[in-house]
Amino acid sequence: MNKRVETGKSILKTLTENGWQAFFVGGYVRDYLLGHAIDDIDITTDARPEDVMGLFPNTRATGVKYGTVSVMNGPFTFEVTTFRSEQAYVDHRHPETVVYGKNLAEDLKRRDFTINAMAMGLDGQIIDLFEGQADLGRHVIRAIGDPEMRFQEDALRILRAFRFIAKLDFQLDSMTEAAMRRSMRLVDKISNERIMVELAKIHKNPYRQSAYQAMLRAGLGQVFPELAKGLDCLAHQADFQVDDTEFYCLSFYLAQCEIPGRWRFSRIQTQRINHVLSLLKATEDQPIDWRLVYQYKLSVSRIAERLNRLLHPYLKQQPSVQTLWKNLPIKTPTDLHLRGEDVRNLSGGDDQRIGRLLDQAVRLVNSGQVSNDKETLLQALAEIPLE
């Protein structure tokens, strides 16, 4: 048996032996029934967080506000959450209040989709109150109860539905999809960080093309017009997979825009996206050559090359960016057998000219006009007139 599952069962056993109800719930039950690999196991119980923390020696109060305690056992971590029902949602994302309960049915009722609202006890019996197993068999993603209410409560459920399409290759139930279209504007109220996390997960899953198509049908491109053309491009590319940075570079390039203010990336990622966008524009009518590879460096050039091959499938890039980079004698100015002090006399005392002369030295060596030798370089630079 899977070690993670064995460990999870030991937690259920401890809870039940101490008089509490306890069940595996959600994604684990879904993936177990589908025969998929198990990534995470969540547990639901009528024990309160303080009771859970009192039973297990190694716990962390990761979400006590919402009734969740992380239980660490060996190399595994399990989220153990108290049965609860949620009252009014204040921001289309978080419940204003959480009410603990003793009723598993109430806890399952508050969940997003039928395929995620099944529980399993220690005896292996499946508790399925909303025909989740039938929906698994039909390959359907269906919201529990009133789908529009589910999305009004938590708009992130819309993006989660797309993630399940990308992971499972399921289809949206017609009523759920219709409610999603009516509620799509609420996605704009989700934090930028949470949206980016869900999109990143979609990019990694095998049926992402189906998810991109569903996103466009449901109107996500109208909420985020800067992503619409990128999604449309990927929706027609079954075998092309992008990572986070590539997705935003592709989308913003096709939208012909800079990074919109609503998207907040790290400083490093912002810089990389901007550099890729600049390189994509620079290579609209010319191939990437050694000068551009030297200027933008390997990682940025690789992304631009990859996206160029997607956007211009009949354009052959010869030689490859990797080859161009490998063959560069000078990858940074520090590779020169020359330093600023070596060209100071040639600069006429102009410190800015030192930098320009070093740039000229890089160009001369990388273009093959001179060798990377100090005396040869100084002689070649001496022939360049003072500006």
* pLDDT for 92: 47
Per-residue confidence (pLDDT) for residue 97, from 0 to 100: 58
Do residues 133 and 26 both lie within one domain?
yes
Give the chain's domain count. 3
Q: Is the pLDDT of residue 90 over 60?
A: no
Residue 89 amino acid letter = Y
Task: Flag whether 190 is in a domain.
Answer: no
Whether 363 is in a domain gets the answer yes
Nearest to 29 by CA among 112, 117, 144: 117
At residue 263, φ and ψ (nearest 5 deg) are: -95, 115
- Looking at residue 337, the DSSP 8-state letter turns out to be S
The pLDDT value given to residue 150: 93
pLDDT over 60 at 87, yes or no: no
Q: Which residue has the higher pLDDT, 238 or 107?
A: 107
Same domain, 76 and 91: yes
Q: Confidence band (pLDDT; 50, 70, 90) for 15?
A: very high
Name the CA dihedral angle for 158, 164, 165, 167, rounded to a multiple of 10 degrees.
150
In the listed set 138, 158, 180, which residue is the last one of a domain according to the structure?
138
Residue 172: per-residue pLDDT: 98
107-111, 217-221, 343-347, range with greatest mean pLDDT? 217-221
CATH code of the domain containing 86: 3.30.460.10
Enumerate the β-bridge partners of residue 34: none
Q: What is the pLDDT of residues 268-316, one digit of tens each?
A: 999 999 999 999 999 998 889 999 999 999 999 999 999 999 998 776 6
- Average pLDDT score over residue span 211-223: 97
How far is it, in rounded angstroms, from Cα 143 to Cα 160?
A: 11
Q: Which of 87-101, 120-134, 244-258 has the lowest mean pLDDT?
A: 87-101
* Residue 42 DSSP code: E
For residue 44, the tally of other CB atoms under 10 A from its CB is: 24
Same domain, 346 and 322: no
Angle at 318 between CA 316 and CA 322, to 5 degrees: 115
Domain identity same for 340 and 297: no
Q: What is the largest CA-CA distance in the chain?
A: 90
- Asked if 1 and 92 sit in the same domain, the reply is yes
Q: 48, 82 in Cβ contact below 8 A? A: yes
Query: CB burial class (10 A; 0-12, 13-18, 19+) of residue 332?
Result: exposed
Residue 368 lies in a domain: yes
Does residue 93 have a pLDDT over 50?
no
- The answer on 320 and 352 residing in a single domain is no
Residues 6+ apart with CB under 8 A from 6: none
91 has pLDDT over 60: no
Same domain, 293 and 343: no
Cα dist from 376 to 124, 256, 299, 385, whole Å: 79, 45, 31, 17
Residues 338 and 310 in one domain: no
Q: Which of 138, 170, 195 is the last residue of a domain?
A: 138
> Residue 200 domain-assigned?
no
**CA-to-CA distance for 164 and 78, rounded, in angstroms?**
21
**Cα distance between residue 141 and residue 114, in whole Å:** 7
Question: Both 94 and 58 in a single domain?
Answer: yes
Q: Are 158 and 184 a contacting pair, CB within 8 Å?
A: yes
Q: Are residues 378 and 271 in the same domain?
A: no
Taking residues 51-68, report their average pLDDT.
88
End position of a domain, from candidates 309, 326, 343: 326
**Nearest to 143, CA basis, from 191, 111, 118:** 111
- Cβ atoms of 195 and 187 within 8 Å: the answer is yes
Query: Do 55 and 93 have their domain in common?
Result: yes
Residue 288 and residue 272 share a domain: yes
Asked if residue 85 is part of any domain, the answer here is yes
CA torsion 343-349-351-353 (nearest 10°) is -70
Domain carrying residue 353? 333-382
Residue 348 banded pLDDT, cuts 50, 70, 90: confident
In-domain check, residue 198: no
Q: Note whether residue 221 is domain-resident.
A: no
In a domain, 252, yes or no: no
pLDDT tens by residue, 359-385: 999 999 999 999 999 999 999 988 876
Burial 277-309 (b: 16+ CB within 10 A, else e): bebbeebeeeebebebbbebebebbbbbbbbbe
